[in-house]
Amino acid sequence: MNVREAVEKARAFVKELYAHEPIGEVGVEEIEYDDRAPKSWFITIGFIRLWDRPTPDERPEREYKAIRITDGAGEVIEVKNRSLA
């Protein structure tokens, strides 16, 4: 799996995971490859929850999810909250 495939897998997973919740501005924030067994990609995806917007002019806080994907099979094996502070 190359980096583009890993990123697409992570983005698609987050969109599917939150399919019943309004999220927007989904974007890639960080990419890391771990070559220790099991080899895996850590992709951080940021997004906003659209219901967190108090007024149309205010921007809600971005949320971040760290998605771990196995390199060989391309399976999502872990999802964690991530802080980029």
Q: What is the pLDDT of residue 10?
A: 97
Over residues 39-54, the pLDDT tens digits come to 999 999 999 988 776 6
Q: What is the pLDDT of residue 40?
A: 97
| DSSP three-state, residue 57 | coil
Q: What is the pLDDT of residue 58?
A: 74
Q: Which residues of the chain have pLDDT under 70?
A: 53-54, 85
Q: What is the pLDDT of residue 8?
A: 96
The tokens describing 45, both together, are: 């995806």
